[in-house]
Amino acid sequence: MQLDLNFVRAQFPAFASPVLSSHAFFENAGGSYPCQQVVDRLTRFYTDRKVQPYGPYPGAQAGGAEMDEARTRLAAMMGVKREELSFGPSTSANTYVLAQAARKWLAHSGGAVVVTNQDHEANSGVWRRLADEGIEIREWQIDPDTGSLELPTLKALLADGMVKLLCFPHCSNVIAEINDVVAICAMAREAGARTVVDGVSYAPHGFPDIPALGCDVYLFSAYKTYGPHQGIMVLREAFGMELPGQAHFFNHGTLYKRHTPAGPDHAQIAACAGMADYIDAVAAKHGVAGDAAARNRGVHDLMRAQEGTVIQPLLDYLSARNDVRLLGPRDGAKRAPTVAVELNRPAEPVSEELGRNGIACWAGDFYAVRPLQALGIDLDKGVLRMSAVHYTGAEDVARLIAALERVL
């Protein structure tokens, strides 16, 4: 079954906006369009619920119920307990808090942390700074030609049994190769290590099945998964309760509060239930049945199939050019549809020229300084990045290729 693109795009008000619809949108990796369901819930909260939630009066009770609904439904879709899902200001903030908890945990248990140079800095710098506390940091380095993380290299890093924590991306925001999270987490478990997966660049292409992945922590950003600006952290109960609490001491007994020191953004958390509404709407339209986790898996597969097909012509076009370097796999099925290229000149003026040709994309380092350096890319030039999601159509990609033909 194919994704009904007309139905999907009708769920996003941006496509009817005279401002946003003027360009083919290829900056989804920086932040997706919000779906109508999220917009409606956010509007309703600010209109009818904007009081302290959970109080003994109707608006407060409704607001609290909608916040609980968001946590409950999203957790069910990803196959975890509602207490294992928490919200924070951003994934960068969530990762920072998690690293502070791990700092104390590692100080007591000892052991090393493995990081990669494929990550966005949010899942790299906070862990590397633990070296200042005397904690050993080991780097799982990418292949400088392909950008891939190789499993034999990881096996060697884990071999002595001293690694307690492995932090890595589901996929990179510039290389885009989908890492084998299941295999990596299995290797870590066998070596006695916990796993922290940065899913920010993968979750927009389908919410994960957490039990199937086998990770201890999974982080992503709702503003890239068709929702508001919130960081979402799935922290499995056993590890979450083992880590020292980072919030008010009287909240340490409640897992979803234990590692969220920032006060909750009531409206944005409540609006996150709109993402579950959207997944369910797509599932119903396409006859995907079952419980919440089954519906999510079905929609995930529809999204991935659509994206792989739509992005392949762009990958083929860029692969055939001898004046650009395409980062990551050339097969759309093996990567996220986030396409970065190294040019023979600075990339930002090219993105500006594409903007004048009806294409919305951007250029720079995208907080992926370490992987770009490892690949030998001049940071002053940066890379041109064009990113699609499941609502991107074949006509959008054709329009992009035509614009690239004029500009490159």
Please determine, for residue 69, whether its predicted confidence score (pLDDT) is greater than 80.
yes
CB atoms within 10 A of CB 406: 9
Q: Could you give the CA distance from residue 172 to residue 41 in angstroms, rounded to a whole number? A: 31
Mean pLDDT, residues 354-380: 97
Q: Is the pLDDT of residue 109 over 80?
A: no
Are the beta carbons of 26 and 17 closer than 8 angstroms? no
Confidence of residue 108 (pLDDT cuts 50, 70, 90): confident
How far is residue 217's CA from residue 127's CA, in Å, rounded to a whole number? 14
Please state whether beta strands 137-140 and 112-116 pair in parallel, antiparallel, or not at all (unpaired).
parallel
What tens digit of pLDDT does each residue of 221-266 get?
999 999 999 999 999 999 999 999 999 999 999 999 999 998 899 9
pLDDT category of residue 110 using cuts at 50, 70 and 90: confident
Strand order in the sheet with 194-198: 85-88, 231-235, 217-221, 194-198, 163-169, 112-116, 137-140
DSSP strand pairing (112-116 vs 231-235): unpaired
Backbone angles phi, psi at 341, to 5 degrees: -135, 145
Give one DSSP letter per residue of 63-123, joined into a string.
HHHHHHHHHHHHHHHTTS-GGGEEEES-HHHHHHHHHHHHHHHHHHH--EEEEESSS-GGG
The predicted structure's pLDDT at residue 37: 98
Any alpha helices (H) in 286-393, and if so which ranges? 292-320, 348-356, 369-374
Q: What is the mean pLDDT of residues 24-40?
A: 98
Is the pLDDT at 22 greater than 90? The verdict is yes
Provide mean pLDDT across the span 178-203. 98
- pLDDT, tens digit (0-9, with 9 covering 90-100), for 260-304: 998 899 999 999 999 999 999 999 999 999 999 999 999 999 999
Residue 272 tokens read as 């996150």
For the segment 200-226, what is each residue's pLDDT rounded down to a tens digit? 999 999 999 999 999 999 999 999 999
Print burial letters for 285-296: b (CB count within 10 Å at least 16), e (below 16): ebebeeebbebb
Length of the chain: 408
Domains of the chain with CATH codes: 5-31+293-400 (3.90.1150.10), 43-276 (3.40.640.10)
0.85 surpassed by pTM:
yes
Q: How confident is the model at residue 91 (pLDDT cuts 50, 70, 90)?
A: very high
- Distance between CA 130 and CA 289 in Å, rounded? 45
Alpha helices, DSSP H, located in 191-259 = 210-213, 237-242, 255-258
Q: Give the residue-averaged pLDDT of 15-26.
A: 96
Average pLDDT of the segment spanning 353-364: 98
Q: Using CB atoms within 10 Å of the CB of residue 51, give its burial: 0 to 12 exposed, 13 to 18 middle, 19+ buried.
A: middle
